[in-house]
Chains A and B, each alone.
Chain A
């Protein structure tokens, strides 16, 4: 369980977040959506401890502010939007960084093969020997996800659920790998972990999220199930764009097509 109360962030004298209340439960994929510049990535950075924020952030019952980096690292792993490397690491060497804190939750004898298993998961089997810098943007993003998975491989350790923080995890991926990555997120939640993902794609959000928080100009605009949040009126108000939300015939999952613009 991750809870945030009245989180405020100012950057360079400009207030970005005006008191966000937020909760993410283990066993669920929680999506944060909103227009560009709404503050959703800023909020995830505050949750990750990258930005100074006021208010309260509690992870697994403990205050983030008094947590040491290595304690937080055992409770959540963070996938950044983009990672630029300065030195020629191989993919395996990058994945090993995920094992740095030793809180993967797998027996020591399995640690050696964990990078391979993580790479297979993100559909990059056989890439361990490649240089990271030679990979395409989408492949690099999946390598980073594999590293993040290595860090908190077991969703639950000693009865404590762990979380994946994903900042636009599918932004540079083709459609197949968008689904692969979202399935990984859903699977992590099914096995007792928690996932918090900043997403741009409202359709993937509708498909995979259990809970959605929509952010608008630094404030929570709506929160609830995808069906409750993704409505004509909310989308028009928040995105300033008159779109009609459709429903898939059988399951009634909402979808938003740009073609529906009025």
Chain B
């Protein structure tokens, strides 16, 4: 608390008022933006091959330096799309976590924990397994967008159901939400199991790798499919910020403050489903980014969504890129699926939050 009360004088000599963390929020966002730039550059220069970005830049500005076609391909076609995808998905997962937590008014809501990712996964698996047969027309109609769209629909259905079950008269019960999430996740898992059972050998290999969560298959085509959906969802986030702040007081109080609560909830649910759906479609289940990132940020800049949402996007992107770097190097030359890395770090973190907050949960 001392931290909040004695905020330092800013460089402009103006004393920040007590309890005002907006300057800190802006500082953290600027810092995280810089961090993301460095992490991206670091990611671009590390990998199994020794292709160097410095060489590439030199080659594009000067006639003398030559860069091999192989290195050019490695940087432009392998590393760069992987970084872009990592940034998009890290931002999408962290922001959807923060938005869900604001919507459900509790810090334990996470798309992965409450079945939204499983629902999105079911949508994606349907396309992978049935895309050549029963769902052929869908694939023919939507092309590369069929997979992220199906995942979006699965995520949307789960989120809507979850909200219906867990919220009574504008109040959300944490226990009901987590338990309903388990049930919905299990249900989606059961249907997914049926589809996996029906899959042929080729599809099975795709499914296994996809299910563990990985950025390994990043291509510009995948970015073209999932990118626009994720970007749209992220663009909606700033419009949700003030409303989510008011929602912390409860639905009725938010309404009294002039927030169109129903519209806010609808937008938030669609944005979460879109971001999670598109992410799951291209990279499988990458867990815990959505719960770790907003929680860490709330500890430093507080729960104001005007700062929390952009900061979550930046930190989520950086953390996922770092996790990806770990997954690429820890068992090199092989690769560990990134979902394993994020779960190995995220699950203990989640337990830690549970222990810290046990007193205030109605569990």
Contact = CB atoms under 8 A, between A and B. Distances in A.
Interface stretch (A80-88, A175-183, A232-240): A80-88
B328 interface: no
Given A69-B260, A134-B1, A128 B19 contact: yes
A49 B255 contact: yes
A77 B246 CA distance: 14
A92 B19 contact: yes
Contacts of B347: none
Contacts of B302: 87-90, 93
Contacts of B248: 85-87, 89
Contact of B17 (A77, A80, A88, A128): A128
Nearest to B247: A86
B252 A97 contact: no
User: Which of B106, B245, B248, B302 has the largest number of chain A CB atoms within 10 A?
Assistant: B248
Interface in A123-144: 126, 128-131, 134
Interface in B234-278: 242, 245-246, 248-250, 252-253, 255-261
For the residues of B in contact with A, the DSSP-based class is loop
Contacts of B260: 68-70
Q: Chain B interface: which size bin?
A: 20 to 34
B298 interface: yes
A93 B21 contact: yes
Contacts of A80: 250, 252-253
A98 interface: yes
Given A83-B250, A131-B1, A88 B256 contact: no
A112 B256 CA distance: 22
Interface residues of A, number: 41
A224 interface: no
Contact of A74 (B20, B242, B249, B258): B258
Nearest to A86: B105
Contacts of B331: none
A72 B255 CA distance: 9
A86 B250 CA distance: 9
A129 B252 contact: no
A220 interface: no
A251 B116 CA distance: 65
A145 to B, nearest CB: 13
Given A69-B258, A100-B259, A101-B257, A128 B18 contact: yes
Contacts of B261: 69
B19 A130 contact: yes
B258 A50 contact: no
Contact of B5 (A68, A83, A129): A129
Contacts of B252: 45, 48, 50, 78, 80
A17 interface: no
A88 B5 contact: no
Nearest to A84: B250
A40 to B, nearest CB: 16
A87 B256 contact: no
B4 interface: yes
Contacts of B20: 90, 92-93, 128
B257 A73 contact: yes
A88 B302 CA distance: 7
B21 A151 contact: no
Interface string A84-121: 11111111111001101101000000001000100000
16 contacts: A69-B255, A70-B259, A72-B258, A88-B303, A90-B18, A90-B302, A93-B21, A97-B246, A100-B245, A100-B257, A100-B258, A101-B257, A126-B18, A128-B20, A129-B4, A129-B19
Given A69-B258, A89-B248, 17 more contacts: A50-B170, A68-B260, A72-B256, A76-B256, A80-B250, A83-B253, A84-B250, A86-B248, A87-B303, A90-B18, A97-B245, A100-B242, A103-B258, A128-B19, A129-B1, A129-B19, A151-B256
